[in-house]
A and B are shown apart, each in its own frame.
Chain A
Amino acid sequence: ETGVTQTPRHLVMGMTNKKSLKCEQHLGHNAMYWYKQSAKKPLELMFVYSLEERVENNSVPSRFSPECPNSSHLFLHLHTLQPEDSALYLCASSQDEGQGGYEQYFGPGTRLTVT
């Protein structure tokens, strides 16, 4: 039990659909992250939120839209995706700032398939 939950665990969607991924952390952290994990590639950081403000956006296409309503919840809204967006999407959280504030705790991920 990592204290970070993600729903749904699996999602199949067509290119014209709109769906959302949800992440919730129960660790009292104040930074949350979205990563994309594709086969044979390093984890790709998509978005970082610190104290509910977005502080990092690694040039992610606009078809991915994050939302962080509070420090415990993070959403990733998806629309008009492409087949190459199929991947495992991971949410993580950490205690922000300061020495050693980099230990990130991951959720189980959402396996997304775009048809």
Chain B
Amino acid sequence: TQLLEQSPQFLSIQEGENLTVYCNSSSVFSSLQWYRQEPGEGPVLLVTVVTGGEVKKLKRLTFQFGDARKDSSLHITAAQPGDTGLYLCAGGPEYGNKLVFGAGTILRVKS
């Protein structure tokens, strides 16, 4: 069974601080996706990375896929209250369409 472990589970920081969220597994994934979910809403896809070592940037968010395609990180620079939410990572299998989700990281950015 493929598992994805996210850390930390909860993060509370001040506006302007930087943070990194990690997503780790012992399994290899063909792709890794990051979602953000706000209370009462569904997850919204932020990015998909598919190549080992790939780095993608989305404004103040930087996503990296590990060289071995077993782990990923999300780095936020100068966090803002609007970044508050649940961040989920999800791994795509080599075959099929069943994503494996991590338990999520709850981020709270205080102004």
Contact = CB atoms under 8 A, between A and B. Distances in A.
Contacts of A31: 97
A40 B103 contact: yes
B30 interface: yes
Contacts of B102: 42
Contacts of B93: 102
Given A42-B104, A103-B48, A90 B43 contact: yes
A34 interface: no
Interface string B5-17: 0000000000000
B33 A111 contact: no
Contacts of A105: 45
Contacts of B63: none
A66 interface: no
Contacts of A6: 42
A99 B42 contact: no
B92 A106 contact: no
Interface residues of B, number: 24
Nearest to B106: A40
A23 B64 CA distance: 33
Contacts of A96: 97
Most buried by B among A40, A42, A50, A99: A42
Contacts of B90: 104
Contacts of A106: 35, 42-45
A97 interface: yes
Contact of A101 (B40, B45, B97, B103): B97
Given A2-B44, A107-B42, A109-B41, A102 B103 contact: no
Given A31-B97, A99-B50, 5 more contacts: A42-B4, A48-B98, A56-B98, A90-B42, A102-B30
16 contacts: A2-B44, A6-B42, A40-B103, A45-B98, A48-B97, A48-B98, A90-B43, A97-B97, A99-B30, A102-B30, A102-B99, A105-B45, A106-B35, A106-B42, A106-B43, A111-B40
